[in-house]
Amino acid sequence: MSTPPQTLDRDGIAARIPHSGSMCLLDGLLGWDADTVRCRASSHRDAAHPLRSPGGLLAPVAIEYASQAMALHGALTALPGSTPSAGFLAAARSVTLHVPRLDDVPGLLLVQATRLAGADQQALYQFTLHDEQGRLLVDGRATVVLNTPLVPP
- DSSP state for residue 44 in the 8-state scheme: G
Per-residue pLDDT tens over the stretch 129-147: 999 999 999 999 999 987 7
pLDDT at 153: 52
Domains of the chain, each with CATH number or no CATH: 8-146 (3.10.129.10)
Per-residue pLDDT tens over the stretch 32-54: 999 999 999 999 999 999 999 99
